[in-house]
Structure 1
Amino acid sequence: MVGLICITIAKAAFTNRFNDFSAILGNSKYLNIYSRDQKFFDKFDALLFTNFVISTAIFICICYRVLHSDLRLDPNSMLKIIFSIGVFLIIKVLFERLIASLFNMDEVIDHYIFQKTSYTNFFGMLLIPVNALLIYSITPSKLLLYFILSFLLILLVISLGTSLKRYQNLIKSNLFYFILYLCTLEIAPYVILYKFVTLY
């Protein structure tokens, strides 16, 4: 309900922007228009980010319950997961901006972060009906979860491909730094998080 309320407020307060955002996978109009007018704190992105964090936490809990049927998550654990995801992503973005400032790549990284955040928020919207079906209608199974994860992975690859295509000339001329960026800021944080979760 909180996720739906966030999306409803975003649509009501920013109708034109929300309509452009809804078609983000089909065209780059949203990215071209709104990436120019970025703010450190954007109400529209904040609303959609809140939904993404909540929806992702719910989906993780569903996967956890299916894969470990003998274990149960209480409301406090759910809140901890929501808080952890939110803090992790915010710190990651702030760290990326810090690195961009140190290497004088603010403009490029700002556009890249905006694009990545936009796709992430779109995935958060997709998770609302998925979560609703898995909770209230369809009994989730491992096979179904693998299918959903595969579908989301395909969308992620498409969005990543769009980002790479958009900056392909810049990436080619700075291939070493791009690989270094991927390893340190895109892959390593998730590996560390996975290790931390599995251990504790």
Structure 2
Amino acid sequence: MEIIYRSVDSLDWITLVIFCSLLLLTLSKYLFKGMFSNFIILPFNNKYVTLYNKKGKLFNWFHLLLTVFQLVNFSLFIFLSKNTLSSEGFGSYPVVFFAALGILIGYLLVKMGIQMANGFVFDANELVTGLIFNKLSYFNYSSCIAFLANIILTYILKDSKPVVYISIFCIFFVNGIGLVNALRNHQKLISINIFYFILYLCALEIAPLVLIGSYLND
């Protein structure tokens, strides 16, 4: 009698990541229906930022859930985009995804720490907290675009460069709307703290985006 080996397929970790992302989004909607209703129309109506910028600001559960959702989906989007755009992709190794996730988490924590410290030094805590909340809110919203792109790149149009480029454009467009709204809402404070704001844009906003874009194209 010959022994027959049966191969068992390993768990599709990308499916697990997407499922967990969907769970986070569903949980956010279920627990915070009012906030979610205002959040979902954020690029078309800045009501969410106006209402909740003063209510708990950065450390409310709805904002934290969506920030986790953002970090997970941007990490997966970077992984899939690199596989699509580069001839030397990562294959299907999840360790690269977790490395990207760790880097994004570390970057976010360090960046927020530097921003808070600068706000304290320049006596601009109100400006800094408002900008962080505004920026994170729009990043959280744009991560919904990354979430949809991840689904399409995984199950529908695998390795589709147009999907990657269109998604990147939409992500930049949504965050561009957020930047314009932030300038409009904080124009008085920005005019007073124009030196800090220029440093903030160059060192903590523009430079990281340039580095990520260069990395994806290499």
| TM-score normalised to structure 1 length | 0.87
Deviations 1:120-152 (A, max 9, x none): 111112222221011101133333322221222
Match among 124, 144, 147 for residue 128 of structure 1: 147
C-alpha deviation, 1:176, in angstroms: 3.1
Match of 1:69 in 2: 87
Does 182-191 or 27-36 show the bigger shift?
A: 182-191
User: Could you tell me which amino acid in structure 2 is paired with residue 34 of structure 1?
Assistant: Y
- Within 5 Å, which residues of 2 pair with 1:121-200? 121-189=140-208
The amino acid that maps onto 2:26 is T
CA distance in 2, matches of 1:96, 1:176: 14
Match of 1:46?
64
Tell me which amino acid in the other structure corresponds to 1:54: V
Does 1:15 find its partner at 2:29? Answer: no
Query: Within the alignment, does 1:119 sit opposite 2:138 as a pair?
Result: yes
Instruction: Return closer, same or farther for 1:81/1:137 CA change in 2, 3 Å cut-off.
Output: same
Poorly superposed stretches of 4+, deviation over 6 Å? 192-195
Residue 9 and residue 143 in structure 1: after superposition, are their counterparts in 2 closer, same or farther (change >3 A)?
A: closer
Distance apart, 1:70 and its partner CA: 3.8
Q: State the 1:39 CA deviation.
A: 4.9
Equivalent of 2:49 in 31, 38, 41: 31
The match for 1:100 among 99, 107, 119 is: 119
Count of aligned positions: 197
**Deviations 1:20-55 (Å, cap 9, x if unpaired)?**
111111112111111111255321111111111111
* Residue identity (%): 29
Equivalent of 1:6 in 24, 28, 43: 24
RMSD, aligned α-carbons: 2.2
TM-score by length of 2: 0.81
Q: Which moved more, 1:177-186 or 1:117-126?
A: 177-186
- Secondary structure of residue in 1 paired with 2:133: helix
Distance 1:101 1:172 in 2: 17
Letter in 2 for 1:115: N
1:64 aligned partner, one-letter code? K
Gaps of 5+ in 1: none
